[in-house]
């Protein structure tokens, strides 16, 4: 048994702690979200079977390398939950996923088509310098092959972390980049340094290693449907709160 389970804590203490830690609102909203999901699923006749719960439980056991039933019970005890609590949590997650599919699966492709450019990506490198003169000098030196972009980033970038990565910013979505910078980056020629671009941060030199065109992969499909579902859920919770306020007034 978990050492924590040996210490009895009143439910009122949990609520007081959540208030003190400014976490009560977050928990309250999650409870409301769960209520909305269950009510909507019931209205639409969406259910979760015991077989689905058992299959997901088995997946979780494999992920945690819980090969024996005793290992699973020990893990649950350490989490201060019962097997029934665990099954209910699994049921909640499966119901949420299934409801999202029912509500939005038919809208994902259309959403992707309308917002396709937002999902374009680049493998991006960047140098930021606080001197316009130095930025111009580096631009011409890189263009002429006197120094590589990566060497310049390692020596001159104002950010120590980017210097250590030779300017590497990673794989970046268009929608994750400031609009004016996105215009510069996504119009750049691959493997060519851009002319210095001024922002409040300083003077930027960009290098696009590769463009990655938007594609509706299974991962992106799930990202979109999750985003749509969360937006719907927030709207439903707000409507629920507003109706409660009206009933009290």
Full set of structural domains in the chain with CATH? 4-110 (no CATH), 118-212 (3.10.50.40)
**Angle subtended by helix axes 83-104 and 218-248, to nearest 10:** 100
Please check the confidence at residue 1 and state whether its pLDDT lies above 60. Answer: no
pLDDT computed for residue 144 by the predictor: 94
Biggest CA-to-CA distance, the chain:
73
Query: What pLDDT is attached to residue 103?
Result: 96
What pLDDT digit, counting tens, does each position of 178-215 carry?
999 999 999 999 999 999 999 999 999 999 999 998 88
What integer is the mean pLDDT of 18-38? Answer: 92
Which residues, other chains included, contact 110 with Cβ-Cβ below 8 Å and sequence gap of 6+? none
Report the C-alpha gap between 175 and 172 in whole angstroms: 8
What is the per-residue pLDDT for 176?
87
Query: How confident is the model at residue 239, as a pLDDT?
Result: 86
Which tens digit of pLDDT belongs to each residue from 76-124? Answer: 999 989 999 999 999 999 999 999 999 999 999 999 999 888 889 999 9
Spatial separation of the C-alpha atoms in residues 210 and 220, rounded to whole Å: 19
CA–CA separation, 31 and 29 (whole Å): 5
Can you tell me the distance from the alpha carbon of 173 to that of 112, in angstroms, rounded to the nearest whole number?
A: 14
Task: Give this prediction's pTM.
Answer: 0.71
Distance CA 217, CA 113 (A): 13
Determine the Cα–Cα distance for residues 185 and 126; give it in Å rounded to an integer: 10
Residue 47: the pLDDT is 95
Question: Which residues are paired to 123 by β-bridges?
Answer: 171, 210
């Amino acid at each position: 048994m978990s050492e924590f389970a040996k210490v009895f804590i009143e439910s009122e203490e949990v609520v007081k702690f959540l208030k003190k830690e400014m976490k009560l609102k977050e928990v309250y909203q999650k409870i409301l979200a769960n209520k909305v999901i269950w009510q909507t699923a019931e209205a639409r006749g969406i259910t979760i079977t015991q077989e689905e719960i058992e299959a997901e439980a088995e997946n979780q056991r494999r992920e945690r390398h819980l090969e024996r039933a005793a290992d699973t019970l020990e893990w649950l005890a350490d989490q201060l939950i019962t097997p029934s609590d665990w099954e209910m949590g699994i049921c909640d997650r499966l119901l949420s996923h299934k409801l999202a599919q029912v509500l939005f699966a038919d809208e994902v492709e259309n959403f992707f088509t309308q917002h396709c450019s937002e999902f374009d990506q680049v493998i991006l490198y960047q140098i930021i310098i606080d001197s316009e003169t130095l930025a111009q000098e580096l631009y011409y030196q890189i263009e002429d092959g006197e120094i590589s972009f990566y060497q310049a980033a390692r020596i001159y970038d104002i950010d120590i972390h980017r210097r250590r990565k030779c300017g590497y910013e990673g794989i970046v979505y268009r929608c994750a980049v400031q609009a004016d910078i996105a215009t510069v980056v996504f119009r750049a020629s691959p493997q060519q340094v851009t002319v210095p671009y001024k922002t409040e941060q300083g003077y930027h030199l960009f290098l696009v290693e590769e463009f990655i065109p938007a594609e509706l992969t299974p991962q992106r499909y799930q990202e979109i449907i999750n985003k749509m579902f969360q937006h719907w859920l927030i709207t439903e919770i707000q409507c629920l709160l507003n109706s409660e306020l009206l009933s009290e007034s």
